[in-house]
A and B are shown apart, each in its own frame.
Chain A
Amino acid sequence: AQKITQTQPGMFVQEKEAVTLDCTYDTSDQSYGLFWYKQPSSGEMIFLIYQGSYDEQNATEGRYSLNFQKARKSANLVISASQLGDSAMYFCAMREEQGGSEKLVFGKGTKLTVNP
C-alpha cells in the first residue's frame, strides 16, 4: 500500500495566485515527519518545508506553508503568490524508521505549471 499519496499528477495556477498541492500519508508510528521538495527540470531536489508529527503549529517558510491535519493524515502544501519560477515537480515525503535506520518515502509527485 502506498504510504504517501499525491492525487494530483498535474496542477495549473495563474501567476500571483495561491495553489494547494495535496498529500496524504499512512503510518502507524507516533513520531514521524513530513517534507515537501521541489524538483525543477535540472533535477536537483530542493527542500521546501518540514512538519514534525508533534509540531503543534503548521510549518511556514516564506511563501510556503504546510496545512497539517493529523487526524486526516494530510499534509498539503500551500504556495502563495505563485511565480513563474515555481513551475516544477513537487514531491511529498515522509520520514520513517525501518530496521533501525531512518528513510524517506516519496509520493509520485505533482507537476505544477504556473501560467503568466
Chain B
Amino acid sequence: GAVVSQHPSRVICKSGTSVKIECRSLDFQATTMFWYRQFPKQSLMLMATSNEGSKATYEQGVEKDKFLINHASLTLSTLTVTSAHPEDSSFYICSASFLRRGFNEQFFGPGTRLTVL
C-alpha cells in the first residue's frame, strides 16, 4: 500500500514552454502533498507544500509564479513549470502524506526528470 505515481517520468521541452507534472496517491487519500527538486549529485530540496483546496506554501527562494502548484483533490497534485529555461532542468519528486505511526508519513513518487533545451 501507500503508492504514489508521477507522470511523466521524463520530459524534454524547449525553452519558453510550460510543463505540467502530475502526482497521484493511488491507494490512499493524502492530507498533504510535497514537491521536491533534486539537482545532480545533490540532496532533495523542498519546494512547496500543498493541501487539497488551499494555496500551496512555498519555501523561501522558490518562485510562486514560476512553479504553479494545483492540489485539485485528495489524490492529485500538479506542478507546472512555466516558461521553462535550461536552469529549470532537474529531477522533480513529489510525496504524499497521511497519518501513520502518529505522524503524517510521506510516501514518494518515482520522480520526473525534466530537461529544458
Any A CB within 8 A of the CB of B77: no
A104 touches B106 (CB 8 A): yes
Any A CB within 8 A of the CB of B108: yes
B43 touches A44 (CB 8 A): no
Q: Contacts A45-B93, A52-B101, A95-B103 known; A101 to B44 CB distance under 8 Å? A: no
In the bound complex, residues from chain A placing their C-beta under 8 Å from that of B28 are none
Nearest Cβ in chain B — how far from A7, in angstroms?
A: 14
> Which of under 10, 10 to 19, 20 to 34, or 35 or more describes the interface residues of B?
20 to 34
In the bound complex, residues from chain A placing their C-beta under 8 Å from that of B32 are 101-102
In the bound complex, residues from chain A placing their C-beta under 8 Å from that of B49 are 101, 103
Interface set, chain A 21-48, CB cutoff 8 A to B: 33, 37, 42-45, 47
A107 touches B111 (CB 8 A): no
Any A CB within 8 A of the CB of B57: yes
For B111, give its contact among A33, A43, A52, A91 (CB under 8 Å).
A43
For A45, give its contact among B97, B101, B102, B108 (CB under 8 Å).
B108
B57 touches A101 (CB 8 A): yes
Q: Give complex CA distance A33, B46 in Å.
A: 17
Identify the A interface with B (CB < 8 A): 33, 37, 42-45, 47, 50, 52, 91, 95, 99, 101-104, 106-109
